[in-house]
Amino acid sequence: MARELWEGNQAIAEAAIRVGLEAYFGYPITPQNEILEWMSKRLPELGRAFVQAEAELGAINMVYGAACTGARVMTSSSSPGISLMMEGLSYIAGTEVPMVLVNVMRGGPGLGNIAPSQADYNQICKGGGHGDYHPIVLAPASIQEAVDLMPVAFDLAEKYLNICCLLIDGSIGQMMEPVELPEMRPVVRKDYPWAVNGAKGRPRRILTSIYLDPPEEEKTNLRLLKRWQEAQEKEIRYKEYFIEDAEFIVIGFGTAGRVALSAVRAARAQGIKVGLFRPITVAPFPYKRVAELAQQVSAFLVTEMNAGQMLEDVRLAVNGSVPIEFYGRLGGVVPFPDEILSEIQRVAKAKLSADADPVANWMKRMEMVAR
């Protein structure tokens, strides 16, 4: 198909529709209103289900119900709205039904602002809802990548009976890029052996997240964990740039990762042997690959649009073998490539220790910038 110029939010919505989305439930919130608005136009004309829910709380529980029928279903929101979905997400994980969630992150905490941010990484990757569960989280850095990951997200959700989250920010949601969208596929409602769709000619089915007897709940938790381990082995995705001869490596996801690419190119132009590692699955995180890279390089520079959330995963992967530095911007500020470039230059020269606290050091530098 031909490339067309698409706005990120609309491209994501259209991509979901073309790969068989049957129902969307959502509530307006900037910077992702274009997803809901696109759905409100397209789904009814295609005879599929669209409901603007009374709130995110309603939306996620409508998604919960729809997912129980085996339909391809998704919702989308931005930071505060995602926080309201935490109970529902925990229920969905505990009931082992598939769904796709899109979080177009904005500056926080609280009402914050509508600028691009990455500060909901821990919320979705570590535990926003109660209990032990792990959504699969994909962090595209461009509109094309987001579009290409849409069918992947549904497939992963359905394969692992889990939540799959597309974690992006307002800049990806509202920018425009040339994109090739997937062909329109026919909708096929799979007759999953677990789906509730009427006990006709089969024993009745129950979908629930209650296991009053703790040993039963423990079994359920272990079942979830096993699937998670399988996903960790099979579903890791990442993109590497200038890695072969890299003496140290920048790690960033999503927008921070693509901004870092500009900086890395500029550094290369200056003869600095630096590479870029951009995780695409941030959960499961590419621990193994980062551990391997730790054998090759002398240091890592982690850059995020938050206060060092993915940083902890990098530290767990590196496990003390080489120094790690951090550079973050907060509250909706998007770093310019030259900021990261100067960090790269600093790291290239600096003597670093593997025991130093990367966040504490970064904070000191931030204060010197004294904004």
Partner 1 sequence: MQTELILSGFGGQGIMFAGQVLSYAAMDVGKQVTWIPSYGPEMRGGTANCTVVIADEEIGSPVVKNPDVALVMNLPSLDKYEPLVKPGGMLVINESMVDRGARRDDITVVTVPCSEIAEEIGSIKMANMVAVGALLSGLKELTVADVEAALNAHMPGRHKHLLPKNIEAIHKGYEYAKAHTVAAR
Partner 2 sequence: MATLMVPENLVYERPHAFTDAPTHYCPGCTHGVAHRLIAEVLEEMNLTERTIGVAPVGCAVFAYNYFDTDFVEAAHGRAPAMATGIKRCLPDHIVFTYQGDGDLASIGMGEIVHAAARGENITVIFINNANYGMTGGQMAPTTLPGMKTTSSPDGRDVETQGYPIRMAEMLATLDGAGYVVRRSLHDPANIRKAKKAIRTAFEVQERKLGFSMVELLSTCPSNWNLTPVESLKWLEEHMIPFFPLGDYKVAPAIAAAKI
Return residues touching ligand TPP (CB under 6 A). 27-29, 56, 80-81, 84
CB contact at 8 A, 100 and 74: yes
Comparing CB distances to ligand TPP, the nearer of 53 and 195 is 53
Which of 113, 122, 148, 205 touches partner 2 (CB under 8 A)? 205
Nearest to 158 by CA among 67, 23, 91, 50: 67
199 binds partner 2 (CB under 8 A): yes
Q: In this structure, what are the phi and psi dihedrals at residue 167, rounded to the nearest 5 degrees?
A: -105, 105
CB closest to ligand TPP, residue no: 29
What phi and psi, each to the nearest 5 degrees, are found at residue 232? Answer: -60, -35
Closest to partner 1 by CB, 197 vs 262, is 262
Question: In the stretch 207-246, what mask flags binding to a second copy with x, by CB under 8 A?
Answer: -xxxxxxxxxxxxxxx-xxx--x-----------------
Min CB(98)–partner 1 separation in Å: 29
Choose the one of partner 2, a second copy, partner 1, none that binds residue 270, judging by a C-beta under 5 to 8 angstroms depending on kind.
Answer: none
Kindly tell me which of 63 and 324 has the beta carbon lying closer to partner 2. 63
DSSP 55: S
242 or 326: whose CB is closer to a second copy? 326
206 counts as binding partner 2 under rule CB under 8 A: yes
User: Considering beta carbons, is residue 45 or 353 the nearer one to a second copy?
Assistant: 353
Pairing of strands 274-279, 248-251: parallel
**What tokens does 307 get?**
């206060």
Task: Fill in the per-residue mask, 47 to 86: x = in contact with a second copy (CB under 8 A), - = not in contact.
Answer: ----------x---------------------xx-xxx-x
Among partner 2, ligand TPP, partner 1, none, residue 33 binds (CB under 5-8 Å by kind) = partner 2
How far is the C-alpha of 315 from the C-alpha of 326, rounded, in Å? 11
Instruction: Give the footprint of partner 2 on residues 124-163 (CB under 8 A).
Output: none
| 15 Cβ contact partners less than 8 Å away, ≥ 6 residues apart | 146, 147, 150, 151, 181, 182
The Cα-based distances of 54 to 26, 27, 28, 60, 116 in angstroms read 9, 7, 10, 11, 25
Closest contact distance (angstroms) between CB of 253 and a second copy is 16
Q: Give kind and range of the element (H or E) at residue 362.
A: helix 358-369
Quick one: what does residue 329 bind among partner 1, a second copy, ligand TPP, none, with the CB cut-off 5 to 8 Å set by partner type?
Answer: a second copy
169 touching partner 1, by CB under 8 A: no
Q: Do the Cβ atoms of 146 and 173 come closer than 8 Å?
A: no
- Does residue 179 contact residue 144 with C-beta atoms inside 8 Å? yes
